[in-house]
Structure 1
Amino acid sequence: MTTSWSEGPLLGFDTETTGVDVDSDRIVTAALVRRDATSTSITTWLIDPGVPIPAEAAAIHGITTEHAREHGRPPRDALEEIAVELAEAFRTGVPVVAYNASFDLRLLDAELRRHRLPTLPDRLYQAARPVIDPLVLDRAEDRFRRGKRKLVDLCGFYRVIESGSLHSADVDVVATLDVLERILGRFPHLAELDLDTLHEYQVSAHRAWAEGFNAWRAEQGLDGPGAELVWPTREPAGTLW
């Protein structure tokens, strides 16, 4: 009997940040959660981002500028440790699981460039893959379901009980892995795909969703750039330092 990738190991990844601009904002906390059939291990980082943490961001994840400055790691050291762990996972074929993966992976690569460290593609000599994004999978497999699709919404829909307050990176990663497990239970054909096929499926699924979303925005007369067509990563915009 063939063993599915869904049985692990999987490496979950999440960040909490100073804001939502992947090119200019900074990582404040990060978590990596490695899960296999028998165990779950969690590694977390608190980082001094080197810039003030806006009050609205601190209100979400609970980390103030003062707390980060007093207790946070230097960003260059922490970012290197995170990148080493992620690159090793990709290099050995362990899928990285992230909710709205485009945000976290793009922000991480921007941060690595800012601190003149090799990005994930630099370390791997190719694009970072395989990535698994429960948000992309849920949109693709249940396209016509109404309602929001933030992590908290999917936790509610898939009846995942969080182990703590969401918007804490480690709690978010565990919830993301639990949501992925429930998605695979509802759509078991996903677990039967090999990882390369699954990654490409998400690339296509995200583009289809983004094109539809952007067409809707145009119909509504909404301004702004809309959703990016490329998943999960792209080159950063402009200079990062």
Structure 2
Amino acid sequence: MVEELTTALALAVTAGQPIVAMNSQFDLTMLDREARRHGVRPLMDRVSPAVLDPRVLDKRVDRYRKGGRTLTDLCRHYVVPLDHAHSSDADATAACAVVWKLANRHRWVRETKLTDLHAAQVEWAREQNADLRDYFARTEGKEAWAAGVRLEWPLIPAWHAA
């Protein structure tokens, strides 16, 4: 299954398609580790995908909006149906729909080349995660959480897996 998924994603990327994933850092890191565990060539060793992460994009376009940033929250905000949340097909469809609505609401997102948007998200995710790390570090009772916040995006490199 890991081989099939990794191959399908690599083929889509080769065809010019972005990977849309909510909280892509988690999903792509999990896929990478599973590929390595099963002796499958990891996705990022095959291709360099343009990744669109609704969470990273939304935090950039609406930084100070109150409320959560879960997929359910983003679907509510962008008026996207989310039936059967937490099933892979429903979550994937909803994440794509959120990115679509976000890009149509923010013209500059729609007009930015995929490779440039991906590169920008690398920096935005780093900034967002650094802010979260700093928040944990200064919040009583959450100080220890700061050490676990990773700045790499969209994938935590395998050498950090320990």
List aligned pairs for 1:93-108, cutoff 5 A.
93-108=16-31
Aligned match of 1:202: 121
Q: Which has the higher contact order (CA 8 A, sep 6+)?
A: 2
Q: Which protein is richer in helix relative to its size?
A: 2
- Whole-Å separation in 1 of the counterparts to 2:74 and 2:19: 19
Aligned to 2:139: 220
* Residues 6-51 of structure 1: CA deviation (Å, up to 9, x unaligned): xxxxxxxxxxxxxxxxxxxxxxxxxxxxxxxxxxxxxxxxxxxxxx
Equivalents in 1 of 2:65, 2:45: separation in Å?
Answer: 39
Segments of 4+ moved more than 3 angstroms: none
In the alignment, which residue of structure 1 is the partner of 2:14? 91
**Structure with the largest fraction of strand:** 1
Query: Which of 193, 197, 204 is equivalent to 2:112?
Result: 193
Who is 1:37 aligned against?
none
Equivalence for 1:229? 151
* Aligned-residue CA RMSD (Å): 1.2
Return the letter of the residue paired with 1:168. Answer: S
**Over residues 58-77 of structure 1, what are the superposed CA-to-partner deviations in whole Å (9 max), with x where a residue is unaligned?**
xxxxxxxxxxxxxxxxxxxx
Report how far residue 234 of structure 1 moved.
2.3
Distance 1:226 1:141, change over 3 A: farther
| Alpha-carbon distance in structure 1 between the residues aligned to 2:63 and 2:110 | 19
Unaligned runs of 5+ in 2: none
Task: Specify the structure having the higher radius of gyration (Cα).
Answer: 1
Alignment check: 8 A CA contact 1:98 1:132 kept: yes
Q: How far apart are the structure 2 equivalents of 1:227 and 1:121?
A: 21
Q: Distance in 1 between matches of 2:148 and 2:62?
A: 22
Query: Who is 1:182 aligned against?
Result: 101
Q: 1:154 aligns with which of 69, 74, 78?
A: 74
Q: Is the 8 A contact 1:210 1:227 kept in 2?
A: yes
Counterpart mapping for 1:119-138 below 5 A: 119-124=42-47, 128-138=48-58
TM value normalised by structure 1: 0.63
Q: 2:16 & 2:75 partners in 1: Cα distance?
A: 27
Offset from partner CA, 1:100-129 (integer Å, 9 cap, x none): 1111111001000001111012223xxx32
Identity score, percent = 38
**Structure 2 CA distance, aligned partners of 1:180 and 1:121?**
22
Distance 2:43 2:118 in 1: 17
Cα shift readout 1:170-225 (whole Å, capped 9, x = no counterpart)? 01111111111111121111010111110011011111111111111111142122
Query: Structure 1 residue 117 and structure 2 residue 40: aligned?
Result: yes
Q: Match of 2:88, as an amino acid?
A: A
Structure 1 alignment gaps of length 5 or more: 1-77
> What's the CA shift string for 1:132-160, capped at 9, x where partnerless?
10110000110000111100011111111
Distance in 2 (CA, whole Å) between partners of 1:165 and 1:103 is 21
Report the TM-score when normalising by structure 2: 0.92
